Each structure stands twice: as C-alpha cells, then as structure tokens.
Structure 1
C-alpha cells in the first residue's frame, strides 16, 4: 500500500461550504488506516462557519484563507503551489472520500502513465478506464512532474470550463487524461452555497462567460458561439411564453455573460 502522506497532497476549494465540509473531511478521516496526506483547504472568503469548523480539525487540515472570492481555478492554483508532493488531488467539498478510492486512483494514474486522472462521480456498473478529452473538475488527480510544463488552471475562467480547458491543454501537449470509472468518489453536488436567485444568476452568468472565453482561447468557429447565443435567446423567448421564470433568468444570465466577453473583445480592438 502506498504511503499517501508522503506521495499525495489534497486541495479542497471552498466557498460558504460549511454544511458539507465536515462530512467531506470526516469521510476520509474515518476510512484512513494511516497518516492523512497534507490537506489544504483553500477558502474563497467564506462568510459562513467554515473557519470555526476547520478549527476543530487541528493539524489534519491547513486553511489558506483568500481575502476575496478568486474563483475555482485560481484557488486550485494556490493549493497546488502550496503542495510539495508529486501528486495533488483537487476536490470539491461535497465529495465523499475513502482511503481505498484515493489509493486506487493513484495506482491507475501510475500504471497508465497519466498526467490527469478522475474517478466515477456517480454510481455505475461501468468499470472501464480510458483516455478521454476531459474530466469533471469535482475530483482531479494531477501528476505535477508531467503537468508543471503545461501549467494548471487558466485563471480567466472564474467558474466553469476550467476543467475542460486544463484537460485539453494536457491532451494538446501529448499527455494522458484518464477516466477511471472503476474508482468511485461520489459527488453529492451543489454543496458550496444556497441556490438563491442571486446565486443562480451569478452561476449562469459565468457559464455563459466561460463558454465564450473557452471558444475564443481554443479558436472554435464563430458559429459555435452564434449557436450558443441563438439557443439561449430561444430559451428566453419560450420561457416568457410559458411563464418559465427560472428558465428565463438562467438564459438571460448566460447571455449577459456572453455579452461581457464580447464587450471586452470589442474594447480591445
């Protein structure tokens, strides 16, 4: 069995995640048979009980407190920079961990000479392991010896697409990205903040914004962005006709996110 405490660091990014963070940490502590890996909690200026909760865990975790919400990718980069192990596991705070799953994911990464590996996030009978174009960012294992030359998260993506982008950059560099469906690390989902209307608008704004940033960075045809805009305009119109307020607000927020990038692009011309 590998000594996770010397081979691996954990990085969990939080934002008002106190309601799920304790369960996240305890899931690994309760299953560990040896010393825990170094565990960095990178907090994006939470205003809930995150700080007081973490104080109860003593030296099992180390809090890195950002003075403002820097976004997911930027916070991940801070945690990766603080780590001094070859392997770094990036985690959402609403994932359920076990020592055996982390061990198995690390074994799969090494055996397949991969730069990035991710587990199954939902229950499945599929036990395959295969190279993929991208992985969901809720759980990502990095081999820093391979990834240091590529770089990590592009900080222009505040939320969304940063996982797609980093996997594409790794693939473009000839590195392997593998989906290990034979390893289960469940992702509960929506564990960071209460989904108020303001939070929903913020989330969908960044979905739209990040979509266009990704398309621009990777030189996707203009028709891709045009279709995205057209689809959301139709959703907004249909939502108006059917009194679908939630669908209308989501589509409107995405279009605002798109517009924010297009305005910046026009301002640079």
Structure 2
C-alpha cells in the first residue's frame, strides 16, 4: 500500500463553502486507517464561517487564505505551488473522499503512466480506465514531474473551461489524461455561494467569457464561437418577448462575457 502521507498532497479550493466543507474533510478523516496526506485548503476570500469552522481540525488541514477571489484555477495553482509531493490532487469542497479511492486513483495514474487522472463522479455501470480528451475539474490528480514542463491552470479562465483547457494542453504535449471509472469519488454539488441574481449573472458572464477564451486560445473554427453568439442572441430576444427574465439575463450575461475579450 502506498504511503499517502508521503506521496500525495490534497488541495481543496473553497469559496463560501462552509456548509459542505466539514462533510468533505470528514469523509476522509473519519474513515482513514493510515496517516492522511497533507491537506491544503485554499480559500478565495470567503466571507462565511469557513475560517472559524476549520479551527476544529487543528493541524490536520492547512488554510491558505487569499486576500481576493482569484478564481478556481488560480487557487489551484497556489495550492500546487505550495505542495512538496510528486502527486497533487485538486478538489471541489463538495466531493466525498475515501482512503481506498485515493489509493486506487493514485495506483491507476502510476500504472498507466498518466499525467492527469480523474475518477467517476457519480455511479456508473462500467469500470473502464481509458484515455480521454478532458476531465471534470471536481477531482483531478496530477503527476507534477510530468506536468511541471507544461504548467498548470491558465488563470485567464476565472470560472469554467479551466479543466478542459488543462487537459487539452496535457494531451497536446503528448501526456496522457485518463478517466478511471473504477474509482468512485462522488461529487455532491452545491459547494459554493447561494445563487442570487447577482451571482447568477456573474456565473453566466464567466461561462460566456471562458467559452470564447477556450475557442480563441485553441483555434477552434470560427463557426464554433459565431454559433454560440448567435444562439445566445436568439435566446435573449425570445426570452425578452416571452417575459422569461431569468433566461434573458443568463443569455445577456454570456454575451457580455464573450464581448469582454474585445475590451
């Protein structure tokens, strides 16, 4: 059995995630039979009870508090830079861990000579391990000896598409990205702030901005971005004419995100 305390560092990125963070930590802590990996909580300037709640864990976790919200990828980069082990796993705070899942995912990463590995985030019927184009960023395990040469998250992606981007960069560099459906790390969801009108507009702004950034960065055909703009323009006006205010605001925010790259 691998010694996770010496081989692996966990990096959980939080933003107003106090409601789910304790369950996330306890999911591994309560069932662990061996010393736990070093666990960094990189917090993006939360204003909830995250700091206070973490005090009960003492030295079992380490809080790295950002003065401002630097986005998911930026916070991951901070945690990865602070890690000292070859293997680093970045996590959403609404995932449920187990020692056996960490052991298995690390074993698969090593045996498949991969740079990035991800588990099944929900129940699946097959247990295949296969090379893939990209993985969902809720759980990503990195071999830093392979990844250091190409770097990690592009911090221009504040929210969304950063997982797709880093996997494409790895694949384009000839590194292997694998999905291990024989490993289960459930992604419960709902790990961030309450969805107010302002938050929803912020989220959809970054969906649009990140979609456009990915398309431009990787030279996707012009039709990909043009169709995205056309579809959201149509949705915006249909929603306006049918009094679908929330749909209108979502489409408008996405278009603002796309247009922000021209400013």
TM-score (norm 2): 0.98
* Structure 2 residue matching 1:57: 3-state secondary structure: helix
* Structure 2 residue matching 1:224: 3-state secondary structure: helix
Separation in 1, partners of 2:225, 2:190: 27
The C-alpha deviation readout for 1:65-113, integer Å capped at 9, x for no partner, is 0000000101000000000000000000000111111111011111100
Give unpaired runs (5+ residues) of structure 1: 265-269
Q: Report the CA distance between 1:237 and its aligned residue.
A: 1.9
Q: Report the CA distance between 1:226 and its aligned residue.
A: 0.6
Report runs of 4+ in structure 1 exceeding 3 Å deviation.
none
Aligned pairs for 1:53-64 (under 5 A) are: 53-64=53-64
TM-score (norm 1): 0.96
What residue in structure 2 maps to residue 87 of structure 1?
87
Separation in 1, partners of 2:170, 2:231: 30
Q: Report the CA distance between 1:242 and its aligned residue.
A: 3.0
The C-alpha deviation readout for 1:12-40, integer Å capped at 9, x for no partner, is 00000000000000000011111110000
Q: Report the CA distance between 1:244 and its aligned residue.
A: 2.1
Give unpaired runs (5+ residues) of structure 2: none
Q: Alignment length, in residue pairs? A: 263
What residue in structure 1 maps to residue 188 of structure 2?
188
Separation in 2, partners of 1:122, 1:105: 15
Separation in 1, partners of 2:186, 2:76: 20
Separation in 2, partners of 1:30, 1:126: 28
Separation in 2, partners of 1:145, 1:95: 26
What residue in structure 2 maps to residue 44 of structure 1?
44
Separation in 1, partners of 2:53, 2:121: 26
- Residue 32 of structure 1 pairs with residue 32 of structure 2: yes
Separation in 1, partners of 2:242, 2:216: 34
The C-alpha deviation readout for 1:182-203, integer Å capped at 9, x for no partner, is 1110111121111111111100
Aligned pairs for 1:106-145 (under 5 A) are: 106-145=106-145
Q: Report the CA distance between 1:123 and its aligned residue.
A: 1.1
* Structure 1 residue matching 2:97: 3-state secondary structure: coil
Q: Report the CA distance between 1:241 and its aligned residue.
A: 3.1
What residue in structure 1 maps to residue 216 of structure 2?
216
* Structure 1 residue matching 2:261: 3-state secondary structure: helix
Separation in 1, partners of 2:242, 2:136: 33
The C-alpha deviation readout for 1:125-181, integer Å capped at 9, x for no partner, is 121111000000000000000000010000111111110000000000000000001
Q: Report the CA distance between 1:236 and its aligned residue.
A: 1.3
* Structure 2 residue matching 1:64: 3-state secondary structure: strand
